[in-house]
């Protein structure tokens, strides 16, 4: 349940036929499948073949990479869908990682002021994290996810069998959002995760299934009461204020998950500097995130000043009243214990503290600098 709405999530392994059958159950004139270059030959083409005969089918390619997650490329996609004959009755199906899912969801929200869409996530991150959120968005003006809408899929259909072709680096990136859930929620999420992370190199579909179930369970409770992630569920933004800035500043060198891992270390450093977080809890961040394997490369080439410029445009600005020099962000005072701001979980951190925390983390000597590994 996300808010009042019940969104069916079907999770299986090697369940291609079932995915096709669930899609067949939707009455439509046309399926518009949206995927990317790597996923089309793996699952896009076979799903397109399985759907032909039930309705018209188009298989559209969206270019990979955050730099394409923009209104310009969304418009090109919309033009192609309309040119192919999309109608109000058509169903969009996003088959891919979080990027394809976000773009498909936003196009569905906008096309004819709203058509049905289905998520078929194919990365670990998308299966347990991005598809469970109603946030659909693209980047604009060098700011992450700033043009978007809240829009719900008809259903989510995930096959953990497809994770066997997902590169280890993207498994690790997906594990970071699980580490985030463990840090912000604590409890059994913090206890269950380390053994799963130690097994990550197996990249097995059964490990994927356990991770996806853990992630969906973590998100479901809060999204039920706060579907637009403005009050309690804003806690899932932990690490994302600095993380999003690092992701864009890296121009593709860091995955979303890697950037958020560094973003959480910066958030822990800020919480520590402001006197909220103990040294032990700060260290616990490093210990857990090191287990994800995403801290091997230290993005020490990045300029904290340029990162700050991006942070001043973060999409949480103005969510609560603050001075220009304050950065609204989620902070922790312990594992599983957020700091409460005046109205929400957004706390105002002075920009000079944020700047110095970023410098401290990016110039820590605990990892190998990028380019020297
Ligand atoms: N809406 C939300 O709440 C939310 C939450 C988290 C992340 N996001 C967004 O999600 C995006 C990151 O998602 P991601 O980490 O899934 O990255 P991604 O979508 O960029 O995919 C990563 C790579 O994996 C490839 N790939 C996908 N499935 C594969 C498979 N089964 N086998 C082999 N290769 C495969 C893709 O082609 C791509 O090259 C970012 O744009 C981020 O902003 C959104």
Q: Under 8 Å CB-to-CB from 53, ≥6 apart: which residues?
A: none
Angle at 186 between CA 181 and CA 191, to 5 degrees: 95
**77 Cβ closer than 6 Å to some ligand 1 atom:** no
Give the pLDDT confidence of 237-258 residue by residue, as tens digits.
Answer: 999 999 999 999 999 999 999 9
Give the pLDDT confidence of 123-171 residue by residue, as tens digits.
Answer: 999 999 999 999 999 999 989 999 999 999 999 999 999 999 999 999 9
**208 Cβ closer than 6 Å to some ligand 1 atom:** no
Residue nearest to atom 35 of ligand 1 (CA): 166
**165 Cβ closer than 6 Å to some ligand 1 atom:** yes
Query: Among all residues, which ones are annotated catalytic?
Result: 135, 237
Q: What would the mean pLDDT of 66-79 be, rounded to a whole number?
A: 97
* 292: exposed, middle or buried (Cβ count in 10 Å: 0-12, 13-18, 19+): buried
Q: What would the mean pLDDT of 210-217 be, rounded to a whole number?
A: 97
- What's the token pair of residue 281? 């809890």
Residue 321 has pLDDT above 80, yes or no: no
What pTM did the predictor assign? Answer: 0.95
Task: State how far the alpha carbon of 232 is from the alpha carbons of 146, 184, 228, 264, 306, in Å.
Answer: 20, 11, 10, 18, 30
Task: State how far the alpha carbon of 3 is from the alpha carbons of 11, 223, 364, in Å.
Answer: 21, 7, 42
> Which secondary-structure segment (H or E) carries 350?
strand 346-350
Residue nearest to atom 34 of ligand 1 (CA): 166
Residues forming a β-bridge with 155:
118
User: What is residue 372's predicted lDDT score, i.e. its pLDDT?
Assistant: 36
At residue 342 the predicted structure's pLDDT band, cuts being 50, 70 and 90, is confident
User: What is residue 365's predicted lDDT score, i.e. its pLDDT?
Assistant: 60
**61 Cβ closer than 6 Å to some ligand 1 atom:** no
């Amino acid at each position: 349940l996300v808010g009042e709405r019940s969104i069916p999530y079907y999770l299986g392994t090697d369940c291609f036929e079932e995915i096709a059958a669930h899609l067949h159950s939707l009455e439509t004139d046309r399926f518009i499948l949206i995927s990317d270059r790597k996923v089309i030959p793996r699952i896009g083409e076979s799903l397109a073949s399985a759907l032909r005969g039930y309705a018209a089918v188009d298989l559209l390619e969206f270019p990979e990479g955050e730099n394409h997650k923009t209104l310009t490329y969304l418009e090109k996609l919309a033009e192609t869908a309309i040119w192919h004959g999309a109608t109000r009755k058509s169903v969009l199906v996003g088959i891919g990682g979080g990027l394809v899912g976000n773009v498909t969801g936003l196009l569905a929200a906008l096309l004819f002021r709203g058509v049905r869409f289905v998520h078929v996530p194919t990365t670990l991150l998308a299966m347990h994290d991005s598809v469970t959120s109603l946030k659909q968005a693209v980047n604009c003006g060098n700011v992450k996810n700033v043009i978007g809408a809240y829009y719900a899929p008809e259903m989510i259909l995930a096959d953990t069998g497809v994770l066997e072709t997902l590169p280890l680096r993207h498994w690790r990136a997906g594990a970071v959002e699980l580490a985030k859930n463990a840090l912000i929620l604590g409890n059994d999420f913090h206890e269950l995760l380390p053994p799963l992370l130690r097994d990550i190199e197996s990249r097995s579909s059964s490990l994927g299934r356990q991770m996806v179930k853990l992630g969906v369970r973590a998100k479901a409770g809060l999204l039920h009461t706060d579907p637009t992630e403005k009050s309690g569920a804003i806690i899932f933004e932990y690490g994302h204020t600095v993380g999003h800035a690092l992701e864009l500043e890296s121009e593709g060198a860091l995955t979303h998950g890697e950037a958020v891992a560094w973003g959480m270390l910066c958030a822990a450093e800020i919480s520590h500097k402001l006197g909220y977080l103990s040294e032990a809890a700060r260290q616990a961040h490093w210990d857990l995130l090191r287990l994800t394997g995403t801290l091997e490369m230290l993005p020490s080439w990045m300029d904290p000043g340029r990162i700050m410029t991006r942070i001043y445009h973060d999409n949480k600005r103005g969510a609560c009243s603050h001075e220009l020099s304050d950065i609204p962000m989620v902070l922790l005072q312990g594992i599983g214990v957020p700091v409460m701001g005046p109205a929400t979980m957004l706390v105002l951190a002075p920009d000079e503290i944020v700047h110095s925390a970023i410098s401290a983390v990016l110039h820590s000597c605990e990892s190998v600098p990028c380019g020297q590994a």
